[in-house]
Amino acid sequence: MKVMKRRLLLHIQLSPKTAKKFEAVSSQLGMTRYTLANRLMDWFAEQDNEVRQRILDAKDAKQSEEIAQIILKQIADGTKGPIDRSTK
């Protein structure tokens, strides 16, 4: 018998603008809001401290571009590819 690991259930509050964008992204990708949020949290947790801190501190488009470049480099180098969900 397979035992499921306990999961943490979070309730998040989004501004109307953010909620609308989040809903649009989930619809565009054909996934539920729950699945999208779960994948985003999985991805965020897998980032190194520098990237997480930069994401949380980003205040403008220039900083966001720098973050995107770091993430794209990690993907290209194979150091931070898609998350393996086969064991989750």
* pLDDT tens readout for residues 29-48: 999 999 999 999 998 998 88
pTM: 0.66
**pLDDT for residue 15:** 95
**pLDDT for residue 6:** 82
Q: What does the domain layout of the chain look like in residue ranges?
A: 22-77
**Residues in CB range of 47: below 8 A, 6 or more apart:** 55, 71, 80
pLDDT in tens, 50-88: 888 888 887 777 888 888 888 888 778 876 655 554 444
**pLDDT for residue 87:** 44
Give the chain's end-to-end CA distance (angstroms, integer).
16
Q: At residue 3, does pLDDT exceed 90?
A: no
